A and B are shown apart, each in its own frame.
Chain A
Amino acid sequence: MYVIIVGAGNVGYYLAKTLLNAGHEVLLIERDKRRCDLLRDEFGEAVMRGRGDEIRIMREAGADRADIVVACTGDDEDNLIISQIAKWYFNVPRTVARINDPRNEGIFQQLGIDATVSSTNIIYHLIEQEIETSEIIPLAALERGNIEIVDVEISNRSPVVGRQVDDLPLPSDALIVCIIRGENAMLPRADTVLEPNDSVIALVSAHNERLLRKVFAEEASSE
Chain B
Amino acid sequence: MRIVILGCGRTGAALARIMAAEGHRVTLIEWNNESLERLGGKFTGAVITGNGLDEDVLKKAGIEQADMFVALTEGDNRNLMAAQIAKERFQVPKVIAKVNDPIRAEAYRERGIYTICYSLIGSALIRDLAYDRPLGTVEDYNVLPPELQD
A residues adjacent to B (C-beta < 8 A): 53-56, 75-78, 80-81, 85, 88-89, 101, 103-104, 107, 110-111
Contacts and interface: CB of A to CB of B under 8 A. Distances in A.
Interface stretch (B36-44, B59-67, B83-91, B130-138): B83-91
A85 B107 contact: yes
Contacts of A110: 88-89
Contacts, number: 51
B128 interface: no
Given A53-B104, A54-B101, A89-B107, A107 B89 contact: yes
A77 B89 contact: no
Given A77-B75, A81-B77, A88 B111 contact: yes
Contacts of B88: 107, 110-111
Nearest to B82: A77
B53 interface: yes
Nearest to A85: B107
Given A54-B103, A54-B104, A77-B77, 8 more contacts: A53-B76, A55-B104, A55-B150, A76-B81, A77-B82, A78-B77, A81-B77, A85-B107
B53 A104 contact: yes
A80 B77 contact: yes
Contacts of A76: 53, 81
A75 B84 contact: no
A76 B78 CA distance: 9
- By Cβ-Cβ distance, the 7 closest A-B pairs, closest first, are A77-B81, A77-B77, A81-B77, A77-B78, A78-B77, A80-B81, A55-B103
Chain B interface size band reads 20 to 34
Contacts of A75: 77
B55 A103 contact: yes
Contacts of B78: 77
B133 to A, nearest CB: 30
A77 B80 contact: yes
Nearest to B101: A54
Given A77-B81, A110-B88, A88 B53 contact: no
A211 to B, nearest CB: 23
Q: Which of B55, B81, B88, B103 has the most CB of A within 10 A?
A: B81
A78 B78 CA distance: 7
B140 interface: no
A103 B104 CA distance: 25
B103 A81 contact: no
Contacts of B89: 107, 110
A55 to B, nearest CB: 5
Contacts of B82: 77
B53 A77 contact: yes
